[in-house]
Structure formats: C-alpha cells, structure tokens
Structure 1
Amino acid sequence: MTQRNESDPSRFLGIIDFLQAAERLKNTLRSGTTSEGRAESTAEHSWRLSLMVMMFDRELGDCDRLKLLKLCIVHDLGEAISGDVPAIHQQGDDGRHERERSDLVRLGAPLPEDLRQEILALWDEYNAGASPEAILAKGFDKLETMLQHVIGRNAPDFDYGFNLAYGLKQTDKHPLIKQLRALVDEATRRRMKR
C-alpha cells in the first residue's frame, strides 16, 4: 500500500460518503439478542468479532493479523443494504452470497478504486475461505454468534441446541477455533439446563 502525503479532497469525500453509508450497519438488526434483551446490530456483531480476534492474538501463530481484522470488519458490510439473514434460515446456495456481494459493490461505489477493490477482494477471500486468515475469520464469526446466543436474553422457546450443530464446517478447520468451539458448546449445554 502506498503512502499518500498529498490531500485529495475527492478521495476523502468518497471515503466519507462510504463511511456514512456503512453507518447503516448500526441499524441493521440480527436475530440474536443482547444480554439486556434487545436485538443486536450487525455492527455490534462485527465489533465483538474483531475484539475476539484481538483477545486471541497470542494464539494466532503466524497469520497476518491486520488482514484477519480487515476480513472481520468487512465480512458483513453488504448487510447494510439488504439486512441480515438469521443463522437458522441460512441454507446452502440460497443466493445470499451473490446478493451480499452485489450490495457491497453498491455500498462501496463512492470509494476510490483502490479501496473499493481491496474491500471486494477481502470479502471474496472471506466468502471463499481462501486463506488461513479467512478460515480463522469464518470460525471466529460462528463462535461470536454462538456466544451471543448463550448470553442473550432470548425468548422462552429459543432453541439453544441449534448452537451445537451450527457452523461445524467452519469451526473444525483450525485447531484454535476447534478448541474454543468445545468451550462454547459446553457453555451452550449449561445454558440449555437453565
């Protein structure tokens, strides 16, 4: 990445326009609830996902941490346009990935070309699980959702057992994520007994 020393007002305006549009993630609600019982936003999910990655920095080995954090930050950006699909409704190739990518292209339209291409490349990498960092990001993403299910003030008929089968494909691909998954599964089982 090249360092720019000159001021480029049109570049800066494009970035600001994008940031203002991305603010929609704060209002994009997910099906999970917070510990206080309100619906969580996609922005809150992405923030805690990034925090999780930071907390396990010591255990991440030689992965590119900056790339990993970028993947976590951009993985749900497209949801600012069409919203979130609850985990219980996600099924195979339901067109969701194409729609999210198309939404991300639309959201990123005001960005300078280099930033637009970087965000799309990161999203594509995440979606394909095409790198060690993407494998970690996908695994942490599933774990964050599961942890929210465990701590959320959920409806009385909430199916905590859903957690035990959710995201196994993504959480089985890395030893750290697999180890954390066992702990989250145990927390889920404890929550089920309440």
Structure 2
Amino acid sequence: MDTRKLIEILGTAENLKNNTRHSWTSQGRHESVAEHSWRLALFAYFLKDEFPEADMDKVIKMCIFHDMGEAFTGDIPSFNKTAQDEEEESKQLYNWVDSLPAPYNTELRAMYEEMEALETLEAKIYKALDKIEVIIQHNEADLSTWIPLEYTTNLDYGNGNVAFSEYLKKLRKDIYNDTVQKIHK
C-alpha cells in the first residue's frame, strides 16, 4: 500500500480515539469509540473456545471495524439514532471503503455487507458481543452516569441478539444479574 494512503487511513481511524460514546468508564470519563472497539475485539478473542465452528479472526476483524462509520459522524447512542442517521453513517462509511485501494475496498465492503445482513454465525457473534459489551461498560461505570432510560434498557438490551447461543444467553443472564445488583445497591 502507498505509504501516504496508509497514513491517511490511520488518520481517519484516529477520529475513533477522539470521538466519545455515551458510555462512561469506571474512572469517570467518557469512553472513546476506539476503546469500545478494542475491548470488543478482545472479548471476541477470548470466546474462541466457545465457538470452535466460527472464524473468530473474522469476528475480531468485524469488532475492530464495526464502528468505523463513527469516524465520520461521531457516536449517536442507539436510543437516539434515527434511520436518517444510519443512512448518513452508512453513506460516509461506504464512500471511505470505496476510496481504499484493492483488495481492502472489496474485502471491507463484503464484510460490512455480511455484518448488516446478520445471517452468518460470525456476524451474529459480533453483533451479540457489541450489545453485551455496552452493558458490561455501563455496569462498570458509576450509577450516577446512567440516564433514567438505562435503568430499564440495560436489563434487556441485546437479549434478542444472544438467542442463538446457549453460552451467550448464560453470559447475558450473568450480566443481567450484575445490572440488577448495581441498581439495588
């Protein structure tokens, strides 16, 4: 790859370090999009034994790239994101993907289309972990950072996404119990 293009790509990705999410860390600061993506990839890595039939390297790649559109639009919490927001993020993301040199442009386009379709085991795993990681982060943050909506949303967020896996359903139940315990402290 041309060195200038590589530097440009890394510059775009750097936006994810600067763009903060609605979530807070346990130390009382807003989490960056990059931090969320990094921990999501780490999360996927440690589930290789639970999904031996899945291409977990692909899942890790999905986790790394899943919020790249937010390098252009910033983070909009799921409870505020509109169809128009989704469309704009997708448009900007695909414009960026198409600007990449081959084979990266076609490889990433195919991966994003797979992620959107949510039909493959890998896409389902990535999406479930993305939802679960958010709740884990909320549980780690101080309760004072929660908005009223989160007291109910955090109890069922992502439940539909984990339904395909007994392991993820058990994990989600444990996280649910952590949430209930946090709320009732």
**TM superposition score normalised by structure 1:** 0.86
Moved over 6 A (4+): none
Q: For 2:46 and 2:152, locate their aligned partners in 1 and report how far apart those are by CA, in whole Å.
A: 27
Matched-pair contact (CA < 8 Å) for 2:138–2:146: no
Matched-pair contact (CA < 8 Å) for 1:15–1:111: no
* Residue matched to 1:19: 10
Structure 2 gap ranges (5+): none
Q: What does the per-residue CA deviation read over 1:21-44, in whole Å, with 9 as the maximum and x for residues that have no partner?
A: 111000111100000111101100
Secondary structure, in 3 states, of the residue corresponding to 1:61?
coil
Asked if residue 52 in structure 1 is aligned to residue 52 in structure 2, the reply is no
* Residue matched to 1:3: none
The match for 1:112 among 101, 107, 124 is: 101
Cα displacement (A) at 1:62: 1.1
Asked if residue 78 in structure 1 is aligned to residue 69 in structure 2, the reply is yes
Matched-pair contact (CA < 8 Å) for 1:161–1:192: no
Structure 1 gap ranges (5+): 1-7
> Please, which moves more after superposition, 79-88 or 34-43?
79-88
Matched-pair contact (CA < 8 Å) for 1:78–1:101: yes
Structure of greater relative contact order (alpha carbons < 8 Å, 6+ residues apart): 1
The match for 2:171 among 165, 180, 192 is: 180
Matched-pair contact (CA < 8 Å) for 1:63–1:133: yes
Cα RMSD (Å): 1.8
Identity within the alignment, %: 34
Asked if residue 99 in structure 1 is aligned to residue 88 in structure 2, the reply is yes
Q: How many residues align?
A: 183
Kindly indicate which of the two structures has a greater share of residues assigned to helix: 2
Matched-pair contact (CA < 8 Å) for 2:25–2:141: yes
The match for 2:122 among 121, 133, 138 is: 133
Match of 2:177, as an amino acid?
E
